[in-house]
Amino acid sequence: MRPSKDVFTTAMVAMVLLASVHWPVDPVWGQNSTRKNRVTPNSLAQRVGTGVKWSQSLEEAQQRSKKSGKPVFWYVSSVPGTFMDRKAEINVYMLGGLFSWPPIIEMLNQHFVPVREKPKPRKNPFDLLPYQFVEPGFLIIEPAGKVIAKVDRLTTLHYQWLSELLAEKLASLGKTVKIPAAPGFFDSFSKSSDQWIDPNGPDFPKNTTNLLLSGMIAFRKGKHAAAKQKWLKASQAEPEHPLAWKAALEAQGIGPFVRGFETYRKLKPEALRAGIDSAGSSAPKGTYTKSEMLALSVDFLLGMQREDGAFTDSDYDFGGTDSLPNVHVAVTSLVGMALLAARPTAAKQKERIESALQRINRFVSDNGNINLADRDEILWAHAYRLRFLARLRQDKRFVNLHAAVAKELSEATSDLENIQLKTGNWYHEYNNPFVTATALCALHEAQTAGAPINRDKINRGVESLLRDRKKNGAYPYYSSRRSQTGRERDLNQLLQASAGRMPVCELSLVLWKRKNQKDLLAAVTRSLDNHRHLASGYKYDNHTSNMAYGGFFFWYDMRGRSEAIRGITDRSVRDSLMERQQKLIMNLPELDGCFVDSHELGRCYGTAMAILSMQ
């Protein structure tokens, strides 16, 4: 299945694939570039959200509120001093999602004084500060100036949820309103895929709404190129319709639906209380059982897969746009691992999973889908596809694939070994111990699945990790060529800073028999005890403190902790720790039962990592 490993040939093959099916990205390959080529909405897509009659400023909106008696709806896309990198992108998601649907537009224009303005740095009366308000979000302010709703951390957008919340807040002010009806087709689209009715059929008019929804069906069935064409037609059918602007945005591959942040799933009544009984778009505590979360998460993932097997919603480009193919291979591999672990009971979901897994196998095994010239994110592509192949190789449901997978596994093992540095480290944007630990864990799993391992590579990797390790089990953020020493105060600070990443580092040393169970238990316990530092960065897409935490580390650390817990041999201790971990996870699903940690990594990544952490 693998083409030539000549870098130029591989890059050209992958660019052709990328240009034909994943339209947002225009990478420059052939060099290890950190250049970020981000898509700008076109002239039609730039109109998303303009159907709402936004006031010019908060001050003007509050004046209008006092005169009209209507509450202010203040949309806040960003706050001063934020840790968010993708401010422009998440603003587009909101404008193209919640603020593009006619029922929402109608409610805001008729019953509120809407305004979109960023808080002023030195005039911030509502405590819209980093950590306290994670964008995007909104406030509802009554005419007298009292805030009656403050909702932030929005990473799952659902028109019904916002409609219900707006209606409830109006009712609290003594005004009863009827929620405008959404398109009737939504009833079928919120059910299982075998019940979907494509509104592009002969019995439906070819208007913007139906063409938009028809494109959504095509997308959920993996036909992403066909979806793009339908959205282009939708944008041209009625160019002045708010949904035409949304369709143009989705056709560019940068809308909230394409990126997985917008859902039309029928919600449980408890989930409609998100933002009231919970933080932002997180489901209120107890909304879903573990089995419900797993079923809903799997269903979401299956609806985000492209026909060729890939999952491409992530736009994590810290390593440059040329690294995105490697991010997509890594995420696709993680989704494959999650689907292998899911074990559903419903026959139809079993069939869909097995089909999805075979396509994932073909996609991640093809080096034409990897940018071999990139160094920033290639580690993740190699390490995670290696782990996926190792698990597929041992899964009895896929015996017919085992011989072919064994060959791919052996080659993937060599690929990972061959990018090791002379120092013994593995590399991700920069030298760091947790990446070396990730590689060592992957190679151990490959060995367990029968792949030949270069022990010299393992020994050098272990020695480099031990050089980074402090005497109290902490690890620095950047790798060093010298053994780690330091003052006790500094060691304690480093312990808190690295607590999230410690379990995977200690686990790798335990797996290769250089540390013991006592060390692993200490790492897991310290990680749980210092979870607050990790949690504070949840839903941010950049570093949030001098401890080097950030939203993009959340599920990486959670999954590493779960895996380390499973490596503890004392059953009673293991069960006790996993119970603590499971309680944390049970409080994290979004209002539709799926998961996320940052807008940039995406909901497929977050959902796959959550499944792996739960299992």
- In 3D space, the residue among 582, 568, 567 whose CA is nearest the CA of residue 613 turns out to be 582
Same structural domain, 6 and 118: no
Cα 156 to Cα 56, 282, 446, 553, distances in angstroms:
27, 8, 36, 19
Nearest to 612 by CA among 475, 371, 445: 445
Are residues 385 and 332 both part of a single domain? yes
Query: Which is it for the CA torsion 248, 252, 253, 256, positive or negative?
Result: negative
One domain, residues 20 and 82: no
β-strand partners of 248: none
- Spatial separation of the C-alpha atoms in residues 55 and 76, rounded to whole Å: 13
How many structural domains compose the chain? 2
Structure tokens at 577: 């720790």
Write the CB contacts of 491 (distance below 8 Å, at least 6 apart in sequence).
Answer: 470, 471, 472, 474
Quote the CA–CA distance of 565 and 11 in Å, as a whole number: 40
**Quick check: is 487 in a domain?**
no
Do 123 and 91 lie in a common domain? yes
Confidence of residue 20 (pLDDT cuts 50, 70, 90): very low
Place of tokens 């004084």: 113
Reported as a single tens digit per residue, the pLDDT across 450-472 is 999 999 999 999 999 999 999 99
| Weakest mean pLDDT among 191-195, 221-225, 316-320 | 191-195
Amino acid letter for position 488: E
What does residue 3 show for φ and ψ, rounded to 5 degrees? -75, 180
Note whether residue 539 is domain-resident. Answer: no
Task: Please check whether residue 309 is in contact with residue 331, taking contact to mean a CB–CB distance below 8 angstroms.
Answer: no
- The DSSP 8-state label assigned to residue 180 in this structure reads P
* Cβ neighbours for 605, distance < 8 A, ≥ 6 positions apart: 314, 331, 334, 555, 597
Residue 131 confidence (pLDDT) = 93
Last residue of a domain, one of 131, 153, 172: 172
Could you give the angle at which helices 502-511 and 433-448 cross, rounded to 10 degrees? 40
Mean pLDDT of 518-539: 96
Q: Are residues 363 and 401 in the same domain?
A: yes
136: cis peptide before it, omega within 30°?
Answer: yes
- Using one digit for the tens of pLDDT, what is the confidence trace for 51-91? 999 999 999 999 999 999 999 999 999 999 999 999 999 99
Q: What is the mean pLDDT of residues 104-125?
A: 91
- Which residue type does 246 have? K
Q: Are residues 51 and 74 in the same domain?
A: yes
Cα(206)–Cα(508) distance, integer angstroms: 57
Residue 517 belongs to a domain: no
Domain annotation covers residue 336 = yes
* Beta carbons of 446 and 498 less than 8 angstroms apart: no
Is position 526 within any domain? no
Residue 520 to residue 513: CA distance in whole angstroms: 11
Provide the residue count of the chain: 615
Last residue of a domain, one of 172, 202, 234: 172
pLDDT band at 481 (very low <50, low <70, confident <90, very high): low
Q: Which of 370, 389, 409 is the last residue of a domain?
A: 409
Q: Helix, strand, or coil here: 509?
A: helix
Whether residue 128 sits in one domain with residue 9: no
> Which range is least confidently modeled, 46-50, 191-195, 433-437?
191-195
**Residue 587 near residue 581, CB atoms below 8 Å:** no
pLDDT level of residue 6 (50, 70, 90 thresholds)? very low
Output the pTM of the full model: 0.93
Within-domain flag for 383: yes
Same domain, 50 and 158: yes
In a domain, 21, yes or no: yes
Question: In the chain, pLDDT over 70 holds for what percent of residues?
Answer: 91
Task: Specify whether 164 is located in the same domain as 100.
Answer: yes
Do 22 and 83 reside in the same domain of the chain? no
Residue 160: which domain range? 45-172
The Cα–Cα gap between 339 and 298 comes to 7
Structural contact between residues 226 and 218, judged by C-beta atoms closer than 8 angstroms: yes
Instruction: Pick the more confident residue, 103 or 199.
Output: 103
Tokens describing residue 292: 């419900």
Domain identity same for 330 and 390: yes
Q: Is residue 386 part of a domain?
A: yes
CATH of the domain at 136: 3.40.30.10
Determine the pLDDT at residue 185. 65
For residues 113 and 139, membership in a common domain is answered with yes
